[in-house]
Amino acid sequence: MIASDTFTRFARRMAATQGCPYMVIAETPNPIRDLGPEALRTRVEAMLPAIIDGLTLPPVEIERRLKDIARQQIHPEGVVRSAVPV
């Protein structure tokens, strides 16, 4: 998944509701709307390692790398709400 940093936590929570809490998210700084081709290219190049990991790593390795991140983003400490357990 690709998301700007403003929407990463929301994206993780939505993925978790669909049974994919360990979705690899390639993140770029917000905003992206008014960026020119060269600036977009720079952003894409920065996201390539995450994209390649998401496409090539075994699911067990992705889960190992993202377990703590997913837990914190889906169930932030001190925040009470209904969500899918991780």
Segment 19-42, tens digit of pLDDT: 999 999 999 999 999 999 999 999
Supply the pTM of this predicted model. Answer: 0.79
Number of domains in the chain: 1
Q: Identify whether 86 is part of a domain.
A: no
Report how far residue 76's alpha carbon sits from residue 36's, in angstroms, rounded to the nearest whole number: 35
The two structure tokens encoding residue 84: 């899918």
Residue 67 included in any domain = yes
- Length of the chain in terms of residues written: 86
H/E stretch holding 28 reads strand 26-28
Task: Inform me whether the pLDDT recorded for 83 exceeds 60.
Answer: no
Work out the number of other CB atoms within 10 angstroms of the CB of residue 69.
14
Residue 80 forms part of a structural domain? no
Question: What is the domain range of residue 48?
Answer: 2-74
Q: Are 74 and 83 spatial neighbours (Cβ–Cβ below 8 Å)?
A: yes
